Amino acid sequence: MAYMALYRKWRPDNFANLVGQDHVSRTLANAITSGRIGHAYLFTGPRGTGKTSTAKILAKALNCEQGPTINPCNQCEACRRINSGNSMDVFEIDAASNRGIEDIRDLRENVKFAPVNGRYKVYIIDEVHMLTQDAFNALLKTLEEPPEHVVFIMATTEVHKVLPTIQSRCQRYDFKRITVDDIFNRLKTVVADMDIEAEDEALRMIAVKADGGMRDALSILDQCIALSEKSLTIDRVQQLLGLVGKEWLDKLVTGLQSRDAAQVLTMVDEIIRAGKDLQQVLGELGMHFRGLMIFKAAGLVDGVDYYSQENDQIKKQAAGFTQEEIVWMIRRIHEAANEVKWSPQPRIAVEAALLELCQRDVLMKAAASGETVVSHQPVEDSRIAQLEAKLAHVMGLLKNGVPAAGGNGATASPDAGPAVAKTAAVQAKPIQVAANITGDGMELWQKTLEHLRVTGKDQVLACIQNCTFMGINSSQFVLGTPKGVIKGLLERLYRKNIEEAFNTVSGMNLSLFCQEVANVPEPDPGAGDIQEDVPPPTDDDFGISELEDEAKERLDKAVDVFGDGFVHPEELE
């Protein structure tokens, strides 16, 4: 039987199994029962929270042969056709790839005709905020006087980009992030159904990592199961997600509590040797301190941490800091996470931040009195002295020129000298952009997918179906990946499979580059859009090759630690 990704298999098919959005299903059910069907709905909320699934359920509820009903049967022809995406009356439009005025004009022509089989023509417009201004205006005309038999359901993750005039004509439903508990319970049902043993803590960890999105949770579970055979343990999931682990965190917190800079730096070294991603390390540390902050403020442990905490222990840790200290430290960790994104030496940014956390009293006091911060603490060994000198230099550069995260267009402050300005310009360019991609290679990519299919790499395919091929340059082929965990999984687990397949069918020797995009666009053979988004090529590669070497070195270290089998999942297949 063909492999079916878990998130497809477990996609909710009626209001009853739509998880975590009771307020939405209740209101929609009321509208259906009372026959008050609106002509335009706007579903907003984070990705993976059930917007398009709900749109399809609503379409079935309206067109089911037994309906209109709040319990579509999922058996009749209308339901089955909607489920399989080939209904003549329900149209799913991805605004990310059909964003122009022509597409909406076609739609306007089309809406006039009566439905073919069902009661309503339902237009589901996903990522509606991606429409161009002209397309929005054209859509607005249709929304002003919709024919009786037409229902529009628009879904978006970025509602602020939808014109207010459109919003005002829609019934708006806000989808919430799904709680860790709700996701956890769903995952428990799924593993029970698959007859897989899973530790609760392991499932919890996945639920936290999914950050409110059920689709992500199921995708992660899919990957974890593929690599864990019949039992899913917390160690395995921790490894797979690249988490640093509770033990390390607890030890680090102890080090910070006693202001033991030497110990803290040694621990950073350990974690880098283990090949962990520094962004991830800071993320976990931030979450841990958030837990301490909430405990201190409210005296309770809230569930949004990777590791379930024992009250005694968290009490002990929280007692070692004042509330002000914790808040200050969270801010500093957050800053460091931004610096890591931009710094050519992310390690130093992390070490600097942790050293500052150790010296928090001096720094907080100085900040309160508005003094310039110069640390006069005795240096504990020569290594720290060296590091601090390096740090002062790097921090100087960072403070003078590097924009906050996402501030791609920012430049150095006007009074900065030319040397600083140059450095800032260099650093302001996102380091990881694959320059110079052309839209070529679509055919090769199709062949690559086919190759993966015939060689039975179903897990790889399941993972990359969330991505879009964006093109190639002289050394890379580029995949657009959604924000979040998919990119990490691809890079950590499937890079080798994908590169092998691509290079086999193309006869080239390119490496995979994953580029996070907010909304994965459809491939565009003309490639006009893609090139607009990528900064023009420059004569200097900004040390990218050096960074690649560093990444390779880290990967090698990871192989040392976790063994080759961890990195190349095909050995388990």
Which residues of the shown chain bind Zn ion in the complex (CB under 5 A)?
A: 64, 72-73, 76, 79
Closest to Zn ion by CB, 76 vs 461, is: 76
* Ramachandran angles phi, psi of 468, nearest 5°: -130, 135
Nearer to Zn ion, 82 or 534 (CB): 82
Nearer of residues 64 and 221 to Zn ion, judged by Cβ? 64
Give me the least distance between CB of 121 and Zn ion, in Å please. 17
What residues are paired with 149 via a beta bridge? none
Instruction: Name the residue nearer to Zn ion (CB basis): 13 or 570.
Output: 13
Q: Please report, as a single letter, which amino acid is at residue 502.
A: F
Q: Nearer to Zn ion by C-beta: 55 or 64?
A: 64
**Whole-number Å distance between alpha carbons of 559 and 553:** 10
As measured in angstroms, the least distance from the Cβ of 57 to Zn ion is 11
The minimum distance between CB 87 and Zn ion, in angstroms, equals 11
Helix H or strand E segment including 282: helix 278-298
**DSSP of 142-165:** HHHS--TTEEEEEEES-GGGS-HH
CB of 77 to Zn ion, least distance (A): 8
User: Quick one: which of 420, 489, 477 has its CA closest to 444?
Assistant: 477
Which CB sits closer to Zn ion, 89 or 388? 89
> Of 552, 489, 541, 47, nearest to 226 (Cα)?
489
- The Cα-based distances of 79 to 21, 71, 87, 90, 452 in angstroms read 22, 11, 9, 10, 32
Q: Which is nearer to Zn ion, 80 or 176 (CB)?
A: 80
In the structure encoding, which two tokens stand for residue 176, read together? 């919430």
What is the nearest approach in angstroms of Zn ion to the Cβ of residue 21?
21
DSSP 405: T
Closest separation between CB of residue 69 and Zn ion, Å? 8
CA distance 438 to 473: 6
Supply the minimum distance, in Å, between the C-beta of residue 116 and Zn ion.
Answer: 16
119 or 487: whose CB is closer to Zn ion?
Answer: 119
Closest to Zn ion by CB, 74 or 279: 74
**Smallest distance from the beta carbon of 85 to Zn ion, in angstroms?**
15
Report d(CA 60, CA 249) in Å as an integer.
48
* Least distance from Zn ion to the Cβ atom of residue 66, Å: 5
Q: Which is nearer to Zn ion, 72 or 275 (CB)?
A: 72
* Rounded distance between C-alpha atoms, residue 125 and residue 91, angstroms: 8
Q: Which residues pair with 527 in a beta bridge?
A: none
Beta bridge partners of 512: 477
Least separation, in Å, of the C-beta of 79 and Zn ion?
3
Residue 388 in 3-state DSSP? helix
Q: Give the residue from 65, 67, 41 showing the smallest Cα distance to 54.
A: 41
Q: Where are the alpha helices (H) located in 229-277, listed in sequence order? A: 234-240, 246-257, 261-273
Strand partners, 43: 155, 173
Tell me if 108 sits within 8 A of 150, measured CB to CB.
Answer: no
Q: Which two tokens stand for residue 312?
A: 């005694």
